[in-house]
Amino acid sequence: MSRPFGTLPSSAKVSPTPFTVSIPKIQLDELKTLIELSKLAPHTYENSQIDAKYGVTTDWLVAMKDQWLRSYKWKTSEDRINSFPQWTTEIEGLVIHFVGLFSEKKDAIPILLCHGWPGSFLEFLPMLELFQKEYTPSTLPYHLIVPSLPGYTFSSGPPLDRNFGTRDIARVLDQLMKNIGFESGYVAQGGDIGSRIARELAVDYESCKAVHLNVCFMGRPVGITDDHLNDKEKLGIQRFDNFKTLGCGYMTEHGTRPSTIGHVLSASPIALLAWIGEKFLEWVDEPLSPEHILESITLYWLTETFPRSIYTYRQNFPPVPIPAPNDPRWYIKKPFGFSSFPQELAPLPRSWIETSGNLVYWGEHAKGGHFAAIEQPEALKTDLVKFVDQVWPGITSTK
């Protein structure tokens, strides 16, 4: 008997394998031992700054290490993950894991949700929970599919014998959507690296009919000045400039020496906690709970995600020129929606964003940061639903 929301449409071309997370006790015991034995750095001027201007503080790392050992329970996270239907399927020799909520409605709209780094499918679980509470399988107006990108969590890593990047990920995800029954069309949503993948899906694949993003990394469009911008928009540009100046050290390491940092962070769970925990502290509007941070780090550790997941950063080195807004490799001709959150890494003005695509929907919010699906799931869900309900009738009428 299938689980609620767990029946794929009859148009599916493949029968994915149902998946349940089950981490062996030996792995959990090893993790606990490594946490216990992990040595912390001595106190320094830099790691003693309470504003964390130089990175995570010793006090924070000590407190998180203690909570990881004393009170955090992976079994609770595992049970939560397993409360959602999951599958694996093979595409181009890669095992792709995905979470999904499938509707029984014949006219349900397929939506592909693309995470980024240091995220995972966990990012979208709060949104899926909202859909589960609002609808039943027979009333859900959408099919919601959340894949683990190649190299992340329960998906296999990218190939070892050739280069692999976001265009390859887009090709694999487009094939996933076709395989599970949505060759006639779907909507893609993404943030972080997922925004680049979603954009490439919209530009390169006919089956991706529309795209919704919550971040757009771009330079100043030609001919646009600050004269017409309000103070909030100017602060957003300043935030992006500050990120490019002071917040990109990790990106340079990922892009230029992924092998080295991959080995380093595979040797100590505390090192992984410091490296990724910093992002969960800095890239948000309001602090994420320690439990969420530990859940994400634990998942990364248990699945050896970090060294397998940072390959896309190599695309940025040597630095590539920002494409012109009308570059066909960049410009979204299809319906394009956007959600703007003030503490995003690049909270750029609408006048900039609309030069990069056929912007037909704009949602602007007073709260939220880079991890919008975690921080503001209700707001992101509302925007996505409004956008999809606005554009899909026109899409279906032109099929």
Q: Is the dihedral of CA 20, 25, 26, 31 positive or negative?
A: positive
CA distance to 259, 275, 316, per residue, from 253 (Å): 9, 12, 11
- Per-residue pLDDT 10s for the chain (399 aa) are 578 999 999 999 999 999 999 999 999 999 999 999 999 999 999 999 999 999 999 999 999 999 999 999 999 999 999 999 999 999 999 999 999 999 999 999 999 999 999 999 999 999 999 999 999 999 999 999 999 999 999 999 999 999 999 999 999 999 999 999 999 999 999 999 999 999 999 999 999 999 999 999 988 888 888 888 999 999 999 999 999 999 999 999 999 999 999 999 999 999 999 999 999 999 999 999 999 999 999 999 999 999 999 999 999 988 776 655 566 678 999 999 999 999 999 999 999 999 999 999 999 999 999 999 999 999 999 999 999 999 998 787 655
Q: Phi and psi at residue 303, in whole multiples of 5°?
A: -105, 5
The question of whether 313 is a catalytic residue gets the answer yes
User: Which tokens is 241 given?
Assistant: 């400039």
- Residue 241: the pLDDT is 95
Q: Choose, from 205, 311, 370, 383, the residue flagged as catalytic.
A: 370
Q: Choose, from 72, 115, 142, 192, the residue flagged as catalytic.
A: 192
The question of whether 228 is a catalytic residue gets the answer no
| H-state helical runs in 180-248 | 193-204, 231-246
- Residue 3: the pLDDT is 84
Given a contact cutoff of 8 angstroms between Cβ atoms, the answer to whether 106 and 143 are in contact is: no
Given a contact cutoff of 8 angstroms between Cβ atoms, the answer to whether 152 and 88 are in contact is: no
Q: Where is 368: in which H helix or E strand?
A: none
- Residue 145: the pLDDT is 98
Pick from 318, 277, 313: which is nearest to 294 by CA?
277
Which residue's structure tokens are 């380093």? Answer: 264
DSSP assignment string, 255-295: HH-HHHHHHHHTS-HHHHHHHHHHHHHHS-SSPPPHHHHHH
Cα 124 from Cα 38, distance rounded (Å): 31
The question of whether 43 is a catalytic residue gets the answer no
- Residue 276: the pLDDT is 98
Q: Choose, from 142, 186, 313, 331, the residue flagged as catalytic.
A: 313
DSSP assignment string, 93-113: TEEEEEEEE--S-TTPEEEEE
Given a contact cutoff of 8 angstroms between Cβ atoms, the answer to whether 158 and 187 are in contact is: no
Q: Distance of alpha carbon 139 from its chain centroid, rounded? A: 27
- Taking the C-alpha atoms of 206, 113, 118 and 4 in order, what is their torsion angle to the nearest 10 degrees? -140
- Residue 326: the pLDDT is 61
- Residue 329: the pLDDT is 75
